[in-house]
């Protein structure tokens, strides 16, 4: 096989792994990968704001609002006016949200994060450069996406 075919196969394997993960996540928790990541972010401190989540995940606040709406409708988080700043709304994890995090299988992205963190600095830089180059080759460098491994819709 030549390098073009090998690179396309590698891309397809990555896409397939994210598709399989998305199905497993939906089956076990009823959430998309992006929704689950928002739940994890809220769960880290118990409460946060949509703006803080948006900044951390590097996506628009409108995208985060949609994801939070889904989590609210499933009873995993609640919105509550901030006690310190009435202009702000806090996003607070519920017992159901914490239970979901605890019972959900290890997400694909968590495995990636652990293995990436174990790499040498030069190796991380090399992988990052290659991934950014692939995104550019696919004209995807300006897409508004969360740092979540998923191929499904938000």
- The verdict on 69 and 84 lying in the same domain is yes
How many domains is the chain partitioned into structurally?
2
- The verdict on 78 and 16 lying in the same domain is yes
pLDDT along the chain (154 residues), means of 10: 88 90 86 91 93 91 94 96 88 96 80 92 96 90 64 44
Q: What is the pTM of this model?
A: 0.73
Cα separation of 37 and 31, whole Å? 10
- The verdict on 96 and 112 lying in the same domain is no
- The verdict on 88 and 113 lying in the same domain is no
């Amino acid at each position: 096989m030549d390098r073009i075919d090998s690179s396309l196969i590698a891309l397809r394997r990555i896409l397939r792994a994210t598709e399989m993960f998305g199905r497993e996540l939906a089956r076990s928790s009823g959430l998309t990968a992006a929704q689950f990541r928002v739940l994890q972010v809220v769960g880290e401190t118990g409460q946060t704001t949509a703006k803080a989540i948006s900044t951390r995940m590097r996506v628009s606040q409108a995208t985060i609002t949609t994801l939070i709406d889904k989590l609210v409708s499933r009873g995993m988080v609640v919105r509550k006016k901030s006690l310190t700043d009435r202009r702000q709304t806090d996003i607070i994890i519920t017992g159901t949200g914490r239970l979901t995090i605890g019972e959900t299988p290890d997400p694909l992205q968590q495995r990636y994060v652990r293995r990436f963190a174990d790499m040498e600095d030069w190796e991380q830089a090399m992988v990052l450069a290659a991934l950014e180059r692939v995104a550019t080759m696919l004209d995807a460098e300006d897409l508004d996406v969360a740092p979540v491994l998923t191929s499904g819709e938000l």
